[in-house]
A and B are shown apart, each in its own frame.
Chain A
Amino acid sequence: MKAAGEGSGLHGRNGRRLVIGLPYFWLALFFLVPFAIVLKVSFSEAMLGNPPFAPLLQTDADGMTALHLNIDNFLLMFDDSLYYGALLNSLQVAAIATVLCLLLGFPMAYGIARAAPRWRLPLLMLIILPFWTSFLIRVYAWIGILKPNGLLNEWLMGIGLIDQPLAILHTPVAVYIGIVYSYLPFMILPLYATLVRLDLTLLEAAADLGARPFTSFLRVTLPLAKPGIIAGCLLVFVPATGEFVIPDLLGGPNALMIGKVLWTEFFNNADWPVASAMAVLLLVLLVGPVVWLQRSQWDDADSDGERS
């Protein structure tokens, strides 16, 4: 066996093939192929049966096989305000929640990155820790806090700030709280990763050259933290757009988000083609950001490995 192959020179050709091939095969079969099927189903007609949609290739009575492409599902998306409204609403909610996450997450990440080194790990662990407990249960906790006779209202009335319970649960505010709460760690971690690498002498240099703290923050810290900001925002925005649990449990019946509509379409109305069409639409919408994220995530990894 010739072990000294190209590249790392460490692994035989067959070993290399196995290392790449196995996960590649799995992801292709269970991640890539399913999208092709979703695309196919989105073009088919709903019908009663199992599965509840008509095949694209149908053989007519006279033995002719014909391709039936049905774009009604997509037309419906743009016709019915239920769908495009939900789509636009999702994007808006996700965008606002992302900004809120950034506003809270940045100073926290900054504070952790600037804390004494021995405090950094514990502080960071405290950010990650809630993530290890059940997401569903953490969202559920907010029901008890936000509902009309919940903890927040009891407390606010108790200290005399309000005398009528605030209606927070089942409003967009509750959805924002839920998303910020659930996705905050995803914002803080990439921000922390870039901020902790930031060379403090750069800030000293800026101060030395006459920049006030706020100016050096704006002109030095912020631009250098940009990769972390981009990664953090995408890690919040993309999944939040398709979020189901949070709007379902905390949102009102009017604040429809695309994930919830898709769920309802699928489970309650058993309309698989329409649900698929929504998935395709959502996917197309999110492909751009995902590709962007992938670039920013793996480019670092790619550029530092080359041997000089």
Chain B
Amino acid sequence: MGRRSYWVIAAMIIGYVFLYGPILSLVIYSFNESRLVTVWGGFSTKWYGELLHNEQILSAAWLSVRIAALNASVAVVLGTLAGFALARFRRFRGRGLFTTLITGPLVMPDVIIGLSLLLLFVAMEQAIGWPAGRGMLTITIAHITFSMAYVAVVVQSRVAQLDPSLEEAAMDLGAKPVGVFFAVTLPIIAPALVAGWLLAFTLSLDDLVIASFASGPGATTLPMVVYASVRLGVSPQINALATLIVGVVGFAVLVAGILLARQERLAARSSD
């Protein structure tokens, strides 16, 4: 669109280099033969081999994936309800508090969320004996609590864009409220739910601080292992892990992008 100042372009170049440089360096040095990250010792995939035989990392990763999937599934249900309520129900008692409760987890420092949840779990265990001890269950509950807020925001903005007459039309044509939701609302907002699920999954997979508070002796998640290892210094195995994660995410985004582009092409062609 017209003239763009050079400094805008400069800022964009600097910004994107800034965002991707570190990730690129991780990827490159994951193929480094040498243990020293900065000294190039030749191409090698040996760190990937070591990573795949690192029982600790593998079991932590498996735990993290299970927690993330469980968390994402529950968070999508709760977050969708919350987002729907925020977008559709203009006035209800306690709406102010409700929006605060949704906004809170988005910005609240992790240490506060983690500490407060731990204290709750301890108090609950004392009072009613549940949850007995801390581990996968408590981490999952903690993650659901903050990821449902993200899902709620995603769903809320999608539902707010939704033409209310679509639902009215469905009802006018004879669908009962529950039928309207499943036949019309849900299919239309489905992309937002998928996005919300992925977001919740990633947030959970990524979280170190809250999981550290909510976890017990038995449960060590992937970020906790990575953190312990990183504190000791740079480790090529972590580079390899990072590369795998970047690869998976990059692939997923590529696929999503292609699907999206194809859809847009279809839409564009048909509207001519």
Find out whether A and B make contact in their complex, taking CB atoms under 8 A apart as touching.
yes
Interface set of A (CB-CB < 8 Å, partner B): 3, 7-8, 10-12, 15-16, 18-20, 22-24, 26-28, 30-35, 37-38, 41, 51, 104-105, 107-108, 110-112, 114-116, 121-123, 125-127, 129-138, 140-145, 147, 149-151, 154, 181, 184, 200, 213, 234-235, 238-239, 241-245, 248-249, 259, 262-263, 266-267, 272, 275-276, 279, 282-283, 286, 289-291, 293-294, 297-298, 301-302, 304-306
Cα distance A124–B198 in the bound complex, in angstroms: 17
One of A30, A132, A213, A249 near B249 (C-beta < 8 A) = A132
B15 close to A184 (CB less than 8 A): yes
A238 close to B109 (CB less than 8 A): yes
A3 close to B103 (CB less than 8 A): no
A181 close to B107 (CB less than 8 A): no
A33 close to B120 (CB less than 8 A): yes
A137 close to B105 (CB less than 8 A): no
With a cutoff of 8 Å between Cβ atoms, the chain A residues found around residue B102 in the complex are: 27
Tell me, yes or no, whether B60 is within 8 Å of chain A by CB: no
Cα distance A38–B3 in the bound complex, in angstroms: 54
With a cutoff of 8 Å between Cβ atoms, the chain A residues found around residue B34 in the complex are: none
Tell me, yes or no, whether B82 is within 8 Å of chain A by CB: yes
A31 close to B104 (CB less than 8 A): yes
Tell me, yes or no, whether B33 is within 8 Å of chain A by CB: no
With a cutoff of 8 Å between Cβ atoms, the chain A residues found around residue B23 in the complex are: 130, 133, 138, 141
With a cutoff of 8 Å between Cβ atoms, the chain B residues found around residue A115 in the complex are: 1
A19-B89, A107-B12, A286-B109 given; name 6 further pairs at CB < 8 Å: A26-B148, A30-B141, A126-B20, A127-B19, A145-B22, A184-B15
B14 close to A104 (CB less than 8 A): yes
Closest to B92 in A: A20
B7 close to A26 (CB less than 8 A): no
B115 close to A126 (CB less than 8 A): no
A282 close to B26 (CB less than 8 A): no
Task: Provide a sorted-by-A list of 11 A–B residue pairs whose CB atoms are within 8 angstroms.
Answer: A3-B171, A19-B89, A27-B82, A38-B115, A126-B19, A132-B202, A143-B234, A151-B38, A244-B110, A263-B209, A276-B119
B19 close to A238 (CB less than 8 A): no
Closest to A41 in B: B119
